[in-house]
Structure 1
Amino acid sequence: MSDSYSKTASEEPGLTQKLTDARTFLGNHKTVLLTTRAPNGALHARTMAVAEITPDWKFRFIYDNESYKEKEVDNDNHCNIAVDGTEKNDGWISISGKASRTNDEKIVEKLFNPTTKAWFGDKGDGVHNGTPSDPRVAVMEIQVDEIRHFHQVKTLVGMAVDVVSSAVGGSTAKPGEIRTITGEEIKAAWSKGELKEA
Structure 2
Amino acid sequence: MKNEKNIAILKEMAEKVRICMFNTLTDDGFHSRPMGTAKIEDDGSIWFFTNEYSPKSKEISKDNEVNLGYSDPSNNTYIYINGKAELVDDQTRKEAYFSPFVKAWFPEGADDPNLILIKVTPSVAEYWDSSSSKMVVAFQMLKAIVTGNTPDMGEHDKIKF
TM over 0.5, shorter chain: yes
Say if 2:11 and 2:44, in contact at 8 Å, map to a contact too.
Answer: no
Which residue in 1 is equivalent to 2:123?
145
CA–CA distance in 1 between the matches of 2:113 and 2:141? 53
Which residue in 2 is equivalent to 1:157?
135
Say if 2:15 and 2:40, in contact at 8 Å, map to a contact too.
Answer: no
Say if 1:100 and 1:142, in contact at 8 Å, map to a contact too.
Answer: yes
Give deviations 1:94-151, integer Å, cap 9, x for gaps. Answer: 1111000111221222222344333135xxxxxxxx3333331100000010110102
Query: How far has the Cα of 1:26 moved from its partner?
Result: 1.6
Matched, 1:71 2:71: no
Which residue in 2 is equivalent to 1:21?
9
Count of matched residue pairs: 161
> Structure 1 vs Structure 2: percent identity of aligned residues?
24
Within a 5 Å distance, the mapping from 1:59-138 to structure 2 comes to 59-86=46-73, 88-120=74-106, 130-138=108-116
- TM-score calculated relative to the size of structure 1: 0.74
CA–CA distance in 1 between the matches of 2:55 and 2:133? 40
Query: RMSD over aligned Cα, in angstroms?
Result: 2.0
Matched, 1:34 2:22: yes
Say if 1:147 and 1:182, in contact at 8 Å, map to a contact too.
Answer: yes
Name the CA shift for 1:112/1:91 in 2 (closer, same or farther; >3 Å).
closer
Say if 2:52 and 2:115, in contact at 8 Å, map to a contact too.
Answer: yes
CA–CA distance in 1 between the matches of 2:110 and 2:159? 34
CA–CA distance in 2 between the matches of 1:169 and 1:115? 48
CA–CA distance in 2 between the matches of 1:64 and 1:44? 16
Say if 2:7 and 2:43, in contact at 8 Å, map to a contact too.
Answer: no
Secondary structure of 2:95's aligned partner: helix
- TM-score calculated relative to the size of structure 2: 0.89
Query: Which consecutive residues of structure 2, in runs of 5 or more, have no partner in the other structure?
Result: none
AA aligned to 1:148 is: E
Greater CA drift, 59-68 or 19-28: 19-28
